[in-house]
């Protein structure tokens, strides 16, 4: 329980009682609801468990005269119209008479224990939650958070498409202590510094500042005997595995959106999205330009001059390409349809760049043959350059 919870949650509604209910009425209603929603009576029903937690949390406050008084005070303070109801995202000028961040800023309140949420969350809770006069309606469904992750694919997998299991880690509520961080059988105790309010007030001249209580990190309670499962944090890391299909031709740097595979929503809200950032490991042979694959093939001078048939690898086999006689170095040959094959049948090509290799060493016979060749062939066409060279000599 934190100051945030107090502002945000209507414990009277959770227990189904009027704000004016007597402590007997509260106790009676609590017992009935706790019995109905107890996890032991509803095995495997997460909704019942949620309800049970909400009921227990509400009773922990309303069942305690002193806490109930503080709760009422806090709710009337924050629900008094200083914070006008404000739809998320829809700005309402004039609804905020002072800067709320001054009120809570400067301390890591609520973050220390799971479920506390950040300060930003606290503010949005204030603006979406508390109605006037403490008659807060419960918050509506909230969409789950988007999740981002990164995946490295091998080059051939990216070209052909692949389905991979993706393990995601996300914070979840500890099931051993239902998130309150206390060893089963024990309860968190009210923080002696802030008396459960989660905030402390400090006077400075004629101003007074409220800030999250440092003793309990704004939670309002202290865990004396820690839950062995979560070590008192109330949260555990939950892993889930998803099979993700990467389509053929997925590119390095691409982001894939999996709608509804992010974190689950709250109170029946839709789940967030999962965004997967794709990295593609380079291949030792092939490169890629869009849907075309690229490959560089060395050939000899003789092959370029006389022509040849080249057997070259593709990603899935081989292909024979005709090099016509008199092919210059750098010429690109095209093997149609040997690139990325899209789902709709469109396919890229394999682009083969010919690289005429100049031998660094020659046998005597080869040298003699080449000299004969040189005598038999006209010089390279350099007249246009020679004219310019002559001007400077």
Binding positions for Zn(2+): 174, 177, 191, 194, 213, 216, 227, 230
Position 182 contacts Zn ion (CB under 5 A): no
Q: For Zn ion, which is the closer residue by CB, 42 or 215?
A: 215
Position 173 contacts Zn ion (CB under 5 A): no
Site for Zn ion in 196-225 (CB under 5 A): 213, 215-216
Position 1 contacts Zn ion (CB under 5 A): no
> C-beta of 80: minimal distance to Zn ion in Å?
23
Position 111 contacts Zn ion (CB under 5 A): no
Q: Cα separation of 257 and 148, whole Å?
A: 9
Q: Which segments of 103-192 are extended strands (E)?
A: 147-153, 162-173, 189-190
The one among 128, 176, 187, 296 contacting Zn ion by CB under 5 A: 176
CA 72 from chain centre, in angstroms, equals: 38
The answer to whether residues 373 and 365 touch, using CB atoms and an 8 Å cutoff, is: no
Q: Cα separation of 134 and 7, whole Å?
A: 9
With 0-12 / 13-18 / 19 or more C-beta atoms within 10 angstroms meaning exposed / middle / buried, residue 99 is exposed
The one among 17, 177, 274, 340 contacting Zn ion by CB under 5 A: 177
> C-beta of 183: minimal distance to Zn ion in Å?
8
φ/ψ of 167, rounded to 5, equals -100, 125
The one among 33, 61, 174, 280 contacting Zn ion by CB under 5 A: 174
Nearest to 48 by CA among 58, 28, 34, 59: 34
> C-beta of 171: minimal distance to Zn ion in Å?
12
Q: For Zn ion, which is the closer residue by CB, 109 or 262?
A: 109
The one among 14, 173, 230, 333 contacting Zn ion by CB under 5 A: 230
Q: For Zn ion, which is the closer residue by CB, 144 or 218?
A: 218
- Ranges of H-type helices in the chain: 3-8, 11-15, 23-37, 46-62, 65-78, 100-104, 119-128, 155-160, 301-306, 364-376, 383-391
The one among 191, 304, 335, 352 contacting Zn ion by CB under 5 A: 191
Q: For Zn ion, which is the closer residue by CB, 126 or 227?
A: 227
Q: For Zn ion, which is the closer residue by CB, 62 or 230?
A: 230
> C-beta of 86: minimal distance to Zn ion in Å?
28
The tokens for 87 are: 């739809």
> C-beta of 218: minimal distance to Zn ion in Å?
7
Annotated binding site: 174, 177, 191, 194, 213, 216, 227, 230
Site for Zn ion in 122-141 (CB under 5 A): none
Position 193 contacts Zn ion (CB under 5 A): yes
CA trace torsion 72, 77, 82, 88 (10° rounding) = -50
The one among 55, 173, 194, 304 contacting Zn ion by CB under 5 A: 194
The answer to whether residues 76 and 135 touch, using CB atoms and an 8 Å cutoff, is: no
Position 54 contacts Zn ion (CB under 5 A): no
The one among 119, 227, 341, 354 contacting Zn ion by CB under 5 A: 227
CA 166 from chain centre, in angstroms, equals: 13
CA angle 73, 74, 79 (to 5 degrees): 100
Q: Strand 274-280 to strand 162-173: parallel, antiparallel, or no bridges (unpaired)?
A: unpaired
Q: Cα separation of 356 and 373, whole Å?
A: 17
Position 61 contacts Zn ion (CB under 5 A): no
> C-beta of 18: minimal distance to Zn ion in Å?
29
Nearest to 191 by CA among 215, 166, 226: 215
Using CB under 5 A as the binding criterion, the count of chain residues that bind Zn ion stands at: 12
Positions in the binding site for Zn ion (CB under 5 A): 174, 176-177, 191, 193-194, 213, 215-216, 227, 229-230
């Amino acid at each position: 329980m934190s100051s945030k919870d107090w502002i945000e949650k209507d414990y009277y509604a959770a227990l189904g009682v009027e704000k004016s209910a007597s402590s007997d009425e509260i106790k009676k209603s609590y017992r009935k609801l706790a019995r109905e929603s107890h996890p032991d009576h509803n095995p495997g029903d997460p909704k019942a468990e949620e309800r049970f937690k909400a009921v227990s949390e509400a009773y922990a406050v309303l069942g305690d005269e002193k806490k109930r008084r503080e709760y009422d005070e806090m709710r009337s303070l924050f629900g008094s119209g200083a914070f006008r109801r404000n739809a998320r995202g829809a700005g309402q000028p004039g609804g905020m008479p002072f800067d709320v961040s001054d009120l809570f800023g400067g301390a890591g309140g609520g973050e220390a224990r799971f479920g506390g949420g950040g300060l930003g969350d606290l503010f949005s809770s204030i603006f979406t939650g508390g109605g006037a006069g403490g008659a807060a309606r419960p918050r509506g469904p909230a969409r789950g958070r988007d999740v981002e992750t990164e995946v490295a694919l091998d080059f051939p997998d990216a070209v052909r498409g692949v389905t991979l299991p993706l393990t995601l880690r996300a914070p979840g509520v500890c099931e051993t202590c239902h998130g309150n961080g206390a060893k089963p059988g024990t309860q968190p105790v009210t923080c002696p510094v802030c008396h459960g309010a989660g905030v402390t007030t400090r006077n400075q001249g004629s101003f007074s500042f409220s800030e999250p209580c440092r003793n309990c990190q704004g939670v309002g309670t202290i865990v004396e005997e820690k839950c062995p499962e979560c070590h008192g944090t109330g949260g555990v890391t939950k892993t889930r595995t998803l099979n993700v299909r990467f389509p053929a031709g997925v590119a390095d740097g691409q982001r894939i959106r999996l709608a509804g595979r992010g974190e689950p929503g709250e109170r029946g809200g839709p789940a967030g999205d999962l965004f997967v950032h794709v990295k593609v490991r380079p291949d030792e042979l092939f490169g890629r330009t869009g849907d075309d694959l690229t490959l560089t093939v060395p050939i000899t001078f003789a092959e370029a001059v006389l022509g040849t048939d080249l057997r070259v690898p593709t990603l899935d086999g081989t292909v024979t390409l005709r090099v016509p006689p008199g092919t210059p170095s750098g010429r690109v040959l095209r093997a149609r349809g040997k690139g990325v094959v899209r789902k709709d049948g469109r396919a890229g090509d394999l682009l083969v760049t010919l690289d005429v290799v100049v031998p660094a060493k020659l046998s005597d016979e080869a040298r003699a043959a080449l000299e004969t060749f040189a005598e038999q062939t006209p010089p390279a066409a350099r007249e246009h350059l020679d004219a310019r060279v002559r001007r400077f000599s």
